[in-house]
A and B are shown apart, each in its own frame.
Chain A
């Protein structure tokens, strides 16, 4: 079971409160977690990663265990603490403004 925290706008879009719990088949990676997330919440398709290229949207970040995982490869294993549900996988809207 993987815990996922979405930014407020995407929680609203997906009609969810708080963090999500997802069953992910196989190894926990960014790709497998996002595949499971989009399968459960199809309205999130295209909002975190591009629909066509599957690349992370530029202003979206992935954090976990106080690390920025945004630039890790999509198929790289997530930290054990995320894979075992101890720590959440955070989808974050990048800071912007001035």
Chain B
């Protein structure tokens, strides 16, 4: 019987949650790398036993871990992220130029076809790639050489490249998102990049419709239709039907359109999920209710999913990389909270149950569907 493996990154280690296809009984292991921040773990689509993890610490810096046996054992691989060529500057919070400086890897995106190729989105914002299983890393410098790069400014969480989407239908097409610069697209495997922010409107920046400078929180696509993108921006849920060339708002009847994660149903490309948060100054749920919102119409029309989720006195957040879907039928949906809960739905969000309740604050959730 098929099953799932949920990879959970927290502020104090990684946890692995496994279940069979019914997704009712769970085996929980961890903490792996206890005491370290695990910003992200992700498996190779080309080899389910190949996992990568971003492990970091304020004391001891960045470590990249790799597993070749589905997470049973791990080995530390390369952690040298050297910016290519002239370092250059971006804008600091006070508007002064500041040299790019590596802080951590936020997101690891394994290649769709090669287990040894993996992309890393880092802070300060840049895209790196390894083609030797994480042993060595090379920057794809075209992104930081974009003419707007010297004007990029960090969001409150740092100037991070947090989202990497590899287009399965157009080899060489990569989408990335940076807080707070916005979305960029490359059609030549990361050599050159164009901003993809037309249609975004952000009242928090001097020119609300600027080409760059938007605080995009996450973007998502369905593999079968990669030219349709969905975005949770700082405020606003957005949609693009032309591979990012233009965006339109689809916040519709959401109670608030501020939030972090957004994801797409595995089998229904027009079904999407968000978790609205009260505001950018509060960063917790509205009304103390944990509600996932689902749209079956690609946005605008949203329904609250509450069955099994706390509906009073709940003031957690769900971070940008902390939601994932499996590819079983019905589609499973998973998310983790800053309060340390990981919730799972085995029926596409109709009902939910906690897999674990008391982990450290959850930073990321990914899921593998296993044969």
Contacts and interface: CB of A to CB of B under 8 A. Distances in A.
Whether both chains belong to one complex is answered with yes
Interface of A: 7, 9-10, 12-13, 43, 45-48, 50-52, 57, 59-60, 93-94, 96
Contact of B76 (A13, A60, A96): A13
B79 A48 contact: no
B35 interface: yes
Contacts of A43: 63, 75-76
Task: Tell me which of A12, A13, A94 has the highest count of chain B C-beta atoms within 10 A of its own C-beta.
Answer: A13
Contacts of B75: 43
Task: Tell me which of B36, B57, B61, B75 has the highest count of chain A C-beta atoms within 10 A of its own C-beta.
Answer: B61
Given A9-B35, A9-B36, A93 B60 contact: yes
B82 interface: yes
Contact of B58 (A10, A45, A46, A96): A96
Given A9-B35, A9-B36, A51 B59 contact: no
Contacts of B79: 45-46, 51
A46 B62 contact: yes
Contact of B82 (A10, A52, A57): A52
12 contacts: A9-B35, A9-B57, A10-B60, A12-B34, A43-B63, A43-B75, A46-B80, A48-B60, A50-B61, A51-B79, A59-B58, A96-B59
Given A9-B36, A52-B82, A57 B76 contact: no
Contacts of B76: 13, 43
Contact of A93 (B59, B62, B63, B80): B59
Interface residues of B, number: 15
Contacts of B36: 9
Interface in B34-82: 34-36, 57-63, 75-76, 79-80, 82
B80 A94 contact: no
Contacts, number: 43
Contacts of A93: 59-60
Contact of B59 (A46, A52, A94): A94
Contacts of A47: 60-61, 63
- Cβ-closest 7 pairs across A and B: A43-B76, A47-B60, A59-B59, A93-B59, A51-B80, A46-B79, A46-B61
A13 to B, nearest CB: 6
A76 to B, nearest CB: 23
A96 B35 CA distance: 14
A45 B60 contact: no
Nearest to B36: A9
A12 B58 CA distance: 17
B4 to A, nearest CB: 28
A12 B61 CA distance: 15
Given A46-B79, A48-B60, A60-B59, 17 more contacts: A7-B59, A9-B57, A13-B63, A13-B76, A43-B76, A46-B61, A46-B63, A47-B60, A47-B63, A51-B80, A51-B82, A57-B61, A59-B59, A60-B60, A93-B59, A94-B59, A96-B59
A9 B58 contact: no
A10 B33 CA distance: 11
